[in-house]
């Protein structure tokens, strides 16, 4: 018995899903009598390249002459669909890639069609041909007999020689959407009398990652697994995906900042035998859906597996900040990269969840910005900031987009003013992030401020100290004070007046001359600021004038 995907190949151009641009072009070429002698079909696996090639062959060999609106029941078309036509030759280039195979093909192309008007050669996985085979094929492809049409199908067009591509009309097959694959699955299920809820078909479609063949293969596997009654549990068992409840619980733990609940979720995942790596992918996809719900205001039908699931999805969209979602997705992406490099999946999943649920324990600039965002939201809601920076569900409205920095200004009379004032201790703890922010705008200036420290904060003045033997750095820093001011304001919301001084202490290696320092900066950063380079020259000229 034929596999499900073979039984349900498109039988006419009208049945093709997701490749309208190709169907329209081929239809016009057939109707106008402008069919090219060679086509190159490019696209990922399972997108319908071979099926389209067979439809083209049917249209060229149907009874009554070439027609884009051929009858699928036509004897010639049925023979082509079932692989029995002598006028359609399918070759697998992966196993027929030698010069001898191409020589045999060149000898056969001279044969006239047996019953139809054209002989169609379908060369699958064409990129697998050897270079010598391509060379032997080039002349035949360029000037084939009038009754021959070549269709080369490949998933890796970059491996096909440019001399071959130039002689073909190229068509790029689009990867179908989840909705398009789900529609095909629904149609096939109805024809095969398979009882499957839309939520189960949507899950199969998402797991297929753009391949009709993979989706239909999974549906057939599910029928073998549990008969013609397919439910969500069967899909999860066959695909090895995490239970929906586990994913929802992980998102609830993230929203509540509950590290214990997050680790218990991983423990239940491990106990169920599910794959931790697949869970990370599924959880990242769930977070993406939450972000979409925040943008649209409601969950699309394709997202929800049930009414309860839709309600929890909406509730999580209200509780999670946009920046928090994006940060968690980034952490999961880093974890997946580490697993690909050989790291243990469960360990990486636990670390990602711990970092996501405990931003105060992470020293990255991104985590710091999240904590500032949490403070913004509390202030915007009129709630004094607590020691825990996590936003409780009932204390903040759902954000429609990532909030902006700096924090929302607070009136001097507000009861939280003292708690939000900039302190020296806070600024000193943020100093590495301040330096990083300056470095992101100007690497050399950032290196200069890396030699300094926040020494005092009094009466709205920030005193920045440089070592006693770094007077040249102090001068350059003063000239770039606006970069430091922007970094401090962006990270704290405060705009203190900046003053610079030498602190009377010497640190680090022996004092460098200005010329030595310039050479060091040039070697480390590849360039020296023109003002800095000109300073020693100006001082030397001044000394000459004094003499």
C-alpha closest to that of 332 among 262, 399, 392: 262
Mean pLDDT of 426-435: 85
Residue 537 pLDDT grade (very low, low, confident, very high; cuts 50, 70, 90):
very low
List the domain range (segments joined by +) for residue 20.
4-172
If 0-12 CB within 10 Å is exposed, 13-18 middle and 19+ buried, where does residue 158 land?
A: exposed
Asked which of 261-270, 330-339, 501-510 is least confident by mean pLDDT, the reply is: 501-510
> Rounded CA gap, 5 and 78, in Å?
16
User: Can you give the pLDDT at residue 408?
Assistant: 38
pLDDT of 371 reads 60
Q: Give yes or no: residues 277 and 233 share one domain.
A: no
> Residues 142-169: pLDDT tens digits?
888 889 999 999 999 899 999 999 999 9
* CATH code, domain carrying 508: 3.30.300.180
List the CATH number of the domain containing 332. 1.20.272.10
Query: Which neighbouring-strand residues pair with 65?
Result: none
Q: Is position 319 within any domain?
A: yes
Q: What is the pLDDT of residue 173?
A: 93
pLDDT of residue 184: 92
- Residue-level pLDDT at 532: 45
351 with 290, same domain?
yes
Q: Does the pLDDT value for residue 507 go beyond 70? A: no
CA nearest 21: which of 43, 45, 46? 43
pLDDT confidence of 362, banded at 50, 70, 90?
low
Q: What is the pLDDT of residue 35?
A: 92
Asked if 234 and 248 sit in the same domain, the reply is no
Query: Is residue 412 a part of any domain in this protein?
Result: no
User: Is 420 or 35 the better-scoring residue by pLDDT?
Assistant: 35
Rounded mean pLDDT of 114-127? 88
Q: Give the end of a domain, one of 139, 154, 172.
A: 172
Decide if 15 is inside a domain: yes
54 with 134, same domain?
Answer: yes
- Which residue has better confidence, 385 or 222? 222
pLDDT tens readout for residues 228-273 = 888 877 887 777 666 778 888 999 999 888 889 999 999 988 887 7
Question: Considering its fold, how many domains does the chain have in total?
Answer: 4
pLDDT at 512 over 60: no
CATH number of the domain at 231, please: 1.10.8.60
Where do the DSSP E strands lie in 301-452?
none
Q: Residue 389: which pLDDT band, with cuts at 50, 70 and 90? A: very low
In which residue are the tokens 């770094």 written?
470
Residue 399 domain flag? no
- Asked if residues 288 and 329 have their Cβ atoms less than 8 Å apart, the reply is yes
Of the listed ranges 214-218, 370-374, 426-430, the one predicted with least confidence: 370-374
Kindly tell me if the per-residue pLDDT of 332 is higher than 80.
yes
> Which among 239, 261, 291 is the end of a domain?
239
**Which of 49-58, 125-134, 498-507 is the most confident on average?**
49-58
Q: What angle do CA 538, 539, 540 make, to 5 degrees?
A: 90
Confidence at 374, pLDDT banded by 50, 70, 90: low
Is there a single domain that holds both residue 273 and residue 222?
no
Identify the pLDDT of residue 30.
93
Q: What is the mean pLDDT of residues 436-450?
A: 83
Structure tokens of 136?
A: 């032997």
Is residue 18 located within the same domain as residue 144?
yes
In a domain, 277, yes or no: yes
Same domain flag for 126 and 109: yes
Whether 398 contacts 317, CB under 8 Å: yes
- Where residue 129 falls among pLDDT bands split at 50, 70, 90? confident
CB 38 within 8 A of CB 167: yes
Contacts of 418 (CB under 8 A, 6+ apart): none
Residue 529, pLDDT above cutoff 60: no
Query: Looking at the structure, do residues 280 and 328 belong to the same domain, yes or no?
Result: yes
Whether residue 91 contacts residue 123, with contact meaning beta carbons closer than 8 Å, is answered with yes
In a domain, 381, yes or no: no
Band of pLDDT at residue 415, cut at 50, 70 and 90: very low
Predicted structure pTM score: 0.57
196 and 158 in a common domain? no
191 and 84 within one domain: no
Q: Give the mean model confidence (pLDDT) for residues 275-290.
A: 88
pLDDT at 526: 55
Q: Quick check: is 417 in a domain?
A: no
Residue 199 · residue 232 · CB < 8 Å: yes
Given 365, 396, 414, which residue is the final one in a domain?
Answer: 365
The reply to whether 67 and 126 lie within a common domain is yes
What strands lie across the sheet with 88-92, from one edge to the other? 88-92, 119-124, 148-154, 38-42, 169-172
**What share of the chain in percent tops pLDDT 90?**
19
| Chain segment 18-33, per-residue pLDDT in tens | 899 999 999 999 999 8
Q: Encoding tokens for residue 36?
A: 């090219």
Residue 337 lies in a domain: yes
User: How many Cα atoms are found within 13 Å in the side-chain-facing hemisphere of 179?
Assistant: 5
CATH number at residue 10: 3.40.50.300
| pLDDT confidence of residue 149 | 93
Same domain, 86 and 226: no
């Amino acid at each position: 018995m034929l596999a499900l995907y073979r039984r349900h190949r498109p039988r006419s151009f009208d049945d093709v899903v997701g490749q309208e641009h190709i169907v329209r072009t081929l239809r016009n070429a057939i109707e106008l009598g402008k069919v090219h002698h060679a086509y190159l079909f490019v696209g990922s696996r399972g997108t319908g390249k071979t099926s389209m090639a067979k439809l083209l062959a049917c249209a060229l060999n149907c009874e009554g002459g070439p027609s884009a609106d051929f009858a699928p029941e036509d004897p010639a078309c049925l023979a082509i669909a079932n692989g029995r036509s002598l006028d359609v030759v399918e070759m697998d280039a992966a196993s027929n890639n030698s010069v001898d195979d191409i020589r045999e093909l060149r000898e056969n192309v001279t044969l006239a069609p047996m019953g139809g008007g054209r002989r169609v050669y379908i060369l699958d996985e064409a990129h697998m041909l050897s270079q010598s085979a391509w060379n032997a094929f080039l002349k035949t492809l360029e000037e084939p007999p009038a009754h021959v049409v070549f269709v080369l199908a490949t998933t890796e067009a970059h491996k096909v020689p440019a001399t071959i591509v130039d002689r073909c009309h190229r068509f790029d097959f689009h990867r179908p959407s989840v909705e398009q694959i789900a529609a095909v699955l629904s149609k096939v299920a109805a024809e095969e009398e398979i009882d499957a809820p839309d939520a189960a078909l949507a899950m199969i479609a998402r797991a297929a990652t753009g391949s009709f063949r993979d989706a239909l293969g999974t549906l057939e596997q599910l029928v073998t697994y549990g008969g013609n009654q397919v439910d969500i549990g069967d899909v999860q068992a066959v695909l090895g995906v995490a239970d929906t409840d586990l994913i929802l619980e992980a998102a609830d733990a993230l929203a509540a900042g509950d590290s214990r609940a997050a680790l218990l979720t991983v423990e239940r995942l491990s106990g169920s035998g599910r794959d931790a790596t697949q869970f990370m992918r599924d959880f990242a996809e769930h977070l993406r859906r939450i972000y979409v719900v925040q943008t649209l205001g409601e969950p699309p039908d394709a997202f929800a597996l049930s009414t309860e699931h839709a309600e929890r999805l909406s509730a999580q969209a209200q509780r999670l900040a946009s920046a928090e979602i994006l940060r968690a997705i980034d952490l999961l992406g880093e974890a997946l990269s580490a697993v690909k490099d050989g790291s243990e999946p469960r360990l990486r999943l636990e670390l990602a969840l711990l970092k996501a649920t405990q931003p105060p324990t992470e020293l990255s600039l991104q985590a710091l910005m999240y904590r500032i965002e949490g403070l913004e939201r509390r202030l915007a809601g009129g709630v004094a900031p607590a020691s825990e920076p996590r936003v409780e569900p009932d204390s903040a409205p759902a954000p429609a987009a990532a909030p902006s920095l700096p924090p929302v200004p607070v009136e001097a009379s507000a009861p939280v003013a003292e708690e939000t004032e900039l302190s020296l201790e806070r600024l000193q703890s943020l100093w590495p992030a301040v330096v990083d922010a300056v470095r992101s705008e100007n690497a050399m200036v950032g290196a200069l401020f890396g030699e300094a420290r926040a020494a005092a904060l009094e009466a709205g003045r920030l005193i920045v100290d440089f070592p006693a033997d770094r007077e040249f750095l102090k001068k350059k820093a003063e000239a770039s004070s606006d970069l430091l001011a922007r970094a401090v304001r962006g990270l704290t919301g405060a705009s203190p007046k900046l003053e610079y001084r030498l602190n009377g202490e010497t640190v680090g290696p022996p004092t460098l001359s200005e010329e030595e320092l310039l050479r060091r900066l040039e070697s480390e950063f590849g360039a020296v600021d023109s003002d800095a380079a000109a300073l020693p020259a100006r001082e030397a000229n001044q000394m000459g004038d004094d003499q």
